[in-house]
Homo-oligomer: A and B are copies of this chain.
Amino acid sequence: MNERDALRALAADLPHAGDDAAVVDGTVITTDMLHERTDFPPGTTRYTAGWRAVGASLSDVAAMGAKATAAVAVYADAAFDDEKLDRFVEGAVDVCEAVDAEYVGGDLDTHDEFTTASTAIGDASDAGVVTRAGARPGDALCVTGEWGRSAAALRLFERGDGGDDAVERANGLFRFTPRVADGLALADRATAMMDSSDGIARSLHQLAEASEVGFELDPDRLPVHPAVDAVAEGPAERFELAAHFGEDFELVCAVPEEAVEPAREACPAGLTRVGRVVDAADGVTADGDPLPDRGYTHG
């Protein structure tokens, strides 16, 4: 069983699983594990790792349209280096501050491989939550921010010939701002929402399945992060990095026509219309061609 099938099996068993986060009595909760080999390429600082690990969970809270309140993390490594641990905590504290949440500590563990597990909670008692189900044909398909920054960062990390400057830029790109403010602005406007951990293509297939709809993506409208242009060799690779790589932690949502403009004005990260919701029978397409349900499979 691969990870995706396993997640499906897990969701089938648990009424609350299967969305970006679970909801219990108005509290949203979500957890993620990231580890060195698959998530933190050589060059990733502990500060960036703390930011990114906790940020990934805050992003899931954002995707529910909830107010992020707090996060905790487990820091596991082969040895506890004072400096590294401090930097990790600083990154975790700073990403929480960026979205007006509190980092309240966690646990330490000894592990062969540097491994983190972060959990964020949020408050959805005001506006309720936005799930992946609820998109209706005719709604506009919108996304926040710019896409492809993690893909660009990975290229910079991998190059190895860019020197310290490239590594520093890669770290900067890896430290995304979780879209909590945008999620809150979309909470009473979007009909369905999720974050883009696996890229726009896979996100659309997941939203389509949950909402029982289809999507028409206009690929030219997908806002691509400038860093992608610096690493991509041509338009095909540019689209590949922006659409399929994932880990952008931007929001993907369906918004009724009349709410698009007010939503756009309320989203600090910007909101771009990139297509529309269609009938399930029409499937998920880009420029009229089927958009494959393909993303980078992250460990």
Contact = CB atoms under 8 A, between A and B. Distances in A.
Given A2-B80, A74-B33, A27 B69 contact: yes
16 contacts: A2-B80, A3-B109, A6-B80, A6-B85, A9-B85, A14-B103, A16-B102, A16-B104, A22-B70, A24-B70, A25-B69, A27-B69, A31-B73, A31-B119, A111-B113, A111-B299
A11 to B, nearest CB: 7
A121 B86 CA distance: 25
A3 B78 CA distance: 11
A6 B103 contact: no
Given A18-B105, A24-B69, A80-B1, A117 B31 contact: yes
Interface of A: 1-3, 5-7, 9-11, 13-14, 16-18, 22-25, 27, 29-35, 38, 69-70, 72-74, 76, 79-82, 85-86, 89, 93, 102-113, 115, 117, 119, 121, 123, 299
Contact of A70 (B7, B27, B79, B108): B27
A89 B31 contact: no
